[in-house]
Amino acid sequence: MPFRRVGSVGDASSPNRLVVADNATVLKAMRPEYEGRFRCIYLDPPFNTGRVFEQYSDARKPGDWLKMMRVRLRLMRPLLAEDGAIFVEIDDTELGPLQVLMDEVFGRSQRVSTITVVRSASTGHKAKNRGPVNVTDFLLVYEKSRGAWRCRPQERVRETFDHAYAKFLMNPDAPHEQWTFEPLAKKVAEDHGFSAVSRAVQEMGKASFYEGLRHFALDHAECVVRFAQPRYEAVSKDAQAMIQRSREHPDVVMRLERPGHSDMILKGGNRVLFLSRKVRRTPEGSQIVEPLTNVWDDVPFQGIAREGGVVFARNKKPERLLARILAMSTTEGDWVLDPFLGSGTTAAVAHKMRRHWIGIEAGPQARELCLPRLTRVIDATDQTGMTRAVGWQGGGGFGVYA
């Protein structure tokens, strides 16, 4: 890379780089050395909201903004690994034009997802709105080559108990043909010394009873089940045949062994699904998790004003958001690129998660915010964000180029 090294922090041999320069110039110069290297590219460009902030101007003519983005996206594409993905964060101001542009540069068939990120609640919005209160950003996700990117499945904690899990397996040690089930609520009432659920609710109070039911279910998740109708057309012929037999003999529990997959357990034509498959043991206790969807309303944007030891007006992203993106798209040792580094969040999280990274920022925040923040990551004085969650204790280093 034809930029002069002007300093380093920590391990001087580290390949990580903070580049203080115009990102288009840097991206063009990177291609000979970094073509096809980055497993993940994340960018949080100016949203073109028409506002001017202390750190940067977010007001361009729509055509100028689109031209700026087209140049940079075209330069980024060769840097992305064949099995890599690019995540571009935006709000609804330029969402439509940006998606058309991403289709143009990366290919419509390479579009993986449009993720809605809920960044605030409707309360507290005092200004008059021309329409519904805007509380979301969007992540446009594209892969480099069709079908090559493998998203690493992520889970999120379910805030409430899934009351579809309403049955309790009374005799788990018996052969499955002899299994019997009772309502979970009845079992919980009996466990508290009541002969009926109604009596338990009356004596304990509804909220207390169902909170007790949740704790009981988590503690006995291997015996808490739900019955779910299987997708008949999506299973094997052997499974279809067993579903039919199960419907003909509704009182008998049947099990189909499936090498490489979990066994299919059926009763009355319905699958028997165990809560234990959705429970994870954590330091905070047992929690129910569910697969991550394309709506992220569980990443708090509030309370991050001083995360990383920097204050960055507007559009500062939570470390937890970047940690999720990197967990989806990379593993330790992979390369991550952020050409609009801003306050340094992507580089800070990538470093804590032991990824290699390059961050590009031309504005004064490169030296005023990014450099001090990343230095604190290296020397382990930053205890905010994802530090404890990933077990980061400092180390490594990066070079500074200009």
* Domain end residue (candidates: 291, 325, 346): 291
- At residue 129, the pLDDT reads 63
- At residue 36, the pLDDT reads 98
| Residue 177 structure tokens | 């043909």
Q: Are residues 65 and 213 in the same domain?
A: no
Q: Are residues 30 and 66 in the same domain?
A: yes
* Domain end residue (candidates: 291, 325, 356): 291
- At residue 310, the pLDDT reads 84
For residues 336 and 138, give the distance between their C-alpha atoms in angstroms, rounded to a whole number: 20
- At residue 341, the pLDDT reads 96
Tell me, yes or no, whether 321 lies in a domain.
yes
Spans of the chain, pLDDT less than 70: 1, 50-57, 59, 122-130, 312-315
Cα 352–chain centre separation: 16
Q: Are residues 216 and 303 in the same domain?
A: no
* Domain end residue (candidates: 291, 320, 341): 291
- At residue 200, the pLDDT reads 97
- At residue 379, the pLDDT reads 97
Q: Are residues 20 and 84 in the same domain?
A: yes
Q: 110: closest CA among 136, 132, 88, 138?
A: 88
Are 325 and 298 within 8 A, CB to CB? Answer: no
Q: Are residues 42 and 118 in the same domain?
A: yes
- At residue 125, the pLDDT reads 55
Tell me, yes or no, whether 395 lies in a domain.
yes
Tell me, yes or no, whether 320 lies in a domain.
yes
Q: Are residues 181 and 284 in the same domain?
A: yes
Give the structural domain span for 335.
Answer: 5-154+294-401
For residues 385 and 317, give the distance between their C-alpha atoms in angstroms, rounded to a whole number: 11
Q: Are residues 316 and 243 in the same domain?
A: no
- Return all residues near 277 (Cβ < 8 A) that are at least 6 apart: 262
Q: Are residues 256 and 150 in the same domain?
A: no
Tell me, yes or no, whether 159 lies in a domain.
no
Q: Are residues 55 and 115 in the same domain?
A: yes
Q: Are residues 16 and 141 in the same domain?
A: yes
Q: Are residues 14 and 131 in the same domain?
A: yes
Tell me, yes or no, whether 162 lies in a domain.
no
Identity of the residue numbered 51: R
- At residue 366, the pLDDT reads 95
Q: For the residues of 44-99, what is the DSSP string, one character each?
A: ------SEE-SS-EE---HHHHHHHHHHHHHHHGGGEEEEEEEEEEE-TTSHHHHH
Q: Are residues 32 and 45 in the same domain?
A: yes
As for how many domains the chain has, the answer is 2
